[in-house]
Amino acid sequence: MQLAQTLNTNGPAVSGEFSLDTIDIISPDHYQKNGYPHAEWTYLRKHAPVFHVGRPRVDPFWAITKAADIIEISKQPRLWLNGPRLAVFKLEEGEELLAPEAYPLKHLLNMDPPQHGTYRALLSRNFTPRAVRALEPEVERITRDVLDDVMGRQQCDFVTDISSKVPVAVIAELLGVPRTDWPTLFRWTNEIIGSGDPEFQRGADSNETFIQARMEMFQYFSAMVAERQKNPGNDVTSILATAKVDGQPLPTLELMSYLLVLVVAGNETTRNATTGGLLALVENPGEFRKLKTDPSLIKSAVEEIARWTSPVIQFSRTAAQDTEVRGNKIRAGESVCLFYPSANRDEDLFDEPFRFDIARNPNPHLAFGIGEHFCLGSNLARLELEVIFRQLAQRLEFAELAGPMARLRSSFVGGIKHMPINFRLKRAEGQ
């Protein structure tokens, strides 16, 4: 039976708590106010796993909420294209959809085969588990410094004081960005990912914020690339600055966009996995105790934190030709929206998906996506989370929420902007 087509989407409320007429899985306000719409996704997985969403100020799309469908779509990159629609965004009242020409970007996430593979290969060696392991001492040091900075305090904002600091430092080290510029890098990522959130807007609206931040990043990296072309080092910026595709240096747009995506993709996501991970441990003190007493659980804990927090909410794909998903006909040019956090609570893939279980095994989560565009930085993100939670498990003697959290106003990357905690941190061993 084709549920998505047989449900009366124009009629009154269908049975249950939600109506397919009004169910909201895309308004950034909804995410900011209520967090992830897990109840809605659960409803859709059950009643309309391939659901055509037509709403004011959103280009129509098919919401894909089952893991099996996300896997099938992601593994056919020639049928399901990443370009031209990166993700689904809802416009503000009176806001115009910006033409891509207003902010040209050409990076892995909006490239398709065969170009995508060529560009991905330029850096794939730098992100293998082995290459990334070599960064462990540096990540250890960065994390220890960040924690030492809050030693002796009883309260902090876990996001601004701790979880946001490690990823920006790691990616900046990787790219060779000098320490004095880290705060600026941090601001740009907030503005690009959080452009829809008034806290990060500096122009009149989200478009202006995004365009401005993009332009400044491009200017910054242009200067850095020019310098690295003269004096190449070992950093990722030097690799890209001197790389060749078909015997030619990378065109400027592709080069700048690559660097921008590395900065943006590696920051907010890891930050939010860290924040959401700590929250989950605070809310499940038994799991935190387990991690403290059995450090060998760190790897499975990291996977569970990735599954549980699923910081990337969605990416989109566009059908290259007429096709079907779960019996629903989807025409060439129509787009699907892959909701990763929904896949990560899919009852068909996980036992007790709503239980946070740091020893979960197996844990075939989709927090990093799957297939052709599988997260390039997943090994790095895993390493960062491993180091952070290992150090927290060793040093954090006590933590509780000290006030309400503030969530990011975004239906693209899920985030906690502020999370005040009361805490007690002890010295690192050997200090």
Binding site for ligand HEM (CB under 6 A): 74, 108-109, 120, 171, 261-262, 265-266, 269-270, 273, 306, 311-312, 315, 340, 367-371, 373-377, 380-381
Least distance from C-beta 403 to ligand HEM, angstroms?
25
The CA distance from 374 to 317, in Å, is 14
Choose between 47 and 360: whose C-beta lies nearer to ligand HEM.
360
Least distance from C-beta 415 to ligand HEM, angstroms?
11
Least distance from C-beta 304 to ligand HEM, angstroms?
12
Least distance from C-beta 348 to ligand HEM, angstroms?
19
Least distance from C-beta 268 to ligand HEM, angstroms?
9
Choose between 20 and 319: whose C-beta lies nearer to ligand HEM.
319
411 with 33: CB under 8 angstroms? no
Output the CA torsion 79→83→84→88 (10° steps): 90
- Comparing every residue's Cβ against ligand HEM, the nearest one is 377
Give residues with Cβ within 8 angstroms of 287, minimum separation 6. Answer: 280, 281, 301, 356, 357, 358
Choose between 240 and 405: whose C-beta lies nearer to ligand HEM.
240
Least distance from C-beta 111 to ligand HEM, angstroms?
7
Choose between 159 and 367: whose C-beta lies nearer to ligand HEM.
367
87 with 196: CB under 8 angstroms? no
Least distance from C-beta 343 to ligand HEM, angstroms?
10
Counted residue by residue, the chain has a size of 431
Per the structure block, which two tokens stand in for 225?
């690339």
Backbone angles phi, psi at 18, to 5 degrees: -115, 160
Q: How many CA atoms lie within 13 A of 34 on its CB side?
A: 12
Choose between 240 and 381: whose C-beta lies nearer to ligand HEM.
381
Dmax of the chain from CA atoms? 66
Choose between 11 and 35: whose C-beta lies nearer to ligand HEM.
35
Q: Which residue in the block uniquely carries the two structure tokens 């060529």?
A: 118
Choose between 156 and 381: whose C-beta lies nearer to ligand HEM.
381
Least distance from C-beta 109 to ligand HEM, angstroms?
4
Least distance from C-beta 385 to ligand HEM, angstroms?
7
Choose between 43 and 339: whose C-beta lies nearer to ligand HEM.
339
The CA distance from 270 to 377, in Å, is 10
Choose between 330 and 367: whose C-beta lies nearer to ligand HEM.
367
